[in-house]
Amino acid sequence: MKDGIFLKQMGAKIKAVRVSRGMTLRQLGTMCNLDFGSISRIENGQKNSYLLTIKTIADKLEVDVKEFL
């Protein structure tokens, strides 16, 4: 799988969980100590993030990081 496709699929999964929790980009960003623009770029597959950032997002959304893979 190409990197761009992987990032877009992972970002879509993150967004789906965030939206299902009724959270805004700002709320998740604040919880993860990231600006909402960074969260948006991750969700849109435009930002390659460190695994620890993805783990932090998973922790704050209360899901296993494997759900994003």
For 13-29, the pLDDT digits (tens) are 999 999 999 999 999 99
Looking at every residue in the chain, the average pLDDT score rounds to 95
Torsion angle (degrees, nearest 10) of CA 9, 36, 30, 63: -10
Which contiguous run of DSSP H or E holds residue 19?
helix 3-20
Tally the residues of the chain.
69
pTM: 0.87
Query: What is the CATH topology of the domain spanning 3-68?
Result: 434 Repressor (Amino-terminal Domain) (1.10.260)
Measure the CA–CA gap between 10 and 13, rounded to whole angstroms: 5
Question: pLDDT tier at 3 (50, 70, 90 boundaries)?
Answer: confident
pLDDT for the residue 49: 85
pLDDT for the residue 8: 96
